[in-house]
Amino acid sequence: MKIASVNVNGIRAAHRKGMLDWVKETNPDILALQEVRAGDADIKKIVSEMGLAEDGGPWHLDHDEASQKGRAGVAVLSKLPIKSRSVKLGADDFDSAGRWLETEFDVEGKKLTVVSIYVHSGEVDSPKQVEKYKFLDAMTERMQELISQELVLLVGDLNVGHTELDIKNWKGNLKNSGFLPEERAYFDGFMKTQGWIDVGRAAHPDSPGPYSWWSYRGQAFDNDAGWRIDYHLATPKLAELASDYQVHRAPSYDTRWSDHSPVVANYSL
């Protein structure tokens, strides 16, 4: 089963720039999207143009729109029917709309849970950073519950580089949101305390990257001065079934349809 995840940086813009060509060529079984930044009608129209799923039926779609129009938004597209969904995260008064979408599938009698996640970027000493920590706190609590299941995959733009291998210019970002010690400590907890497996790092244990995001400014993409902030985090059982992890980096700056690249892996379920 091929599972892909990508921050589309606005699905309508990505659609205009060629996203559908990539979808048809890659042919994922499940595709998680972040920063959809569109309403239900818009994303349904675009999905309808993706063609038919392998079994001849339509793509199955679930979308959680952000409370703020034109912001965030997460979705899951699948060739398999989506058996259930949940967007519950944190306290009842915590607004996680458009940032956390759990979907459940039946794969030949096995329960598979795929979560599409968007952790927004922060800004040091600002309300935005406080909100980011609140979201990471809520994530931590829910992930502790999910780790007890056998087949769970968390994917998405988590907007934190975990280690020095995850950012080209890590020395210059030690005091910037996205690489703060406090943020990275959450990821230590996910992997070292809770037991989640970073599929991308497991596939590339000692080498920098492969990066998944590059700024549109300057020559970041051409110089591969990127960040690895898009993840596949799997339960240990599911991680054992993972193979062929890849970041689908565009061949050139002018062929990009998002500032992020899709992250793809196969899972032998």
Number of neighbouring beta carbons within 10 Å of residue 40:
14
Decide if 42 is inside a domain.
yes
Catalytic residues: 157
Q: Say what the pTM is.
A: 0.95
Decide if 196 is inside a domain: yes
Residue 227 belongs to a domain = yes
Does any domain span residue 201? yes
* pLDDT-based confidence at residue 55 (cuts at 50, 70, 90): low
CATH number at residue 153: 3.60.10.10
Task: Read off the pLDDT of residues 125-153 as tens digits, 9 standing for 90 and up.
Answer: 999 999 999 999 999 999 999 999 999 99
**How far is the C-alpha of 91 from the C-alpha of 248, rounded, in Å?**
36
Residue 268 lies inside a defined structural domain of this protein = no
> Is 174 among the domain residues?
yes
DSSP secondary structure of 123-182: -TTSHHHHHHHHHHHHHHHHHHHHTTSSSEEEEEE-----SGGGBTT-GGGTTSTTS-HH
Lowest mean pLDDT among 12-21, 44-53, 106-115: 44-53
Asked if the peptide bond before residue 208 counts as cis, ω within 30 degrees of 0, the response is: no
Phi then psi dihedrals of residue 235, to 5 deg: -65, 155
Domain range spanning residue 176?
Answer: 2-262
- Phi/psi-derived region of residue 11, left when phi > 0, alpha when psi is between -120 and 50, beta in every other case: alpha
Please tell me the total count of domains within the chain: 1
Domain presence at residue 176: yes
Q: Of 235, 240, 215, 217, which is closest to residue 226 (Cα–Cα)?
A: 215
Cβ contact 188:160 at 8 Å: no
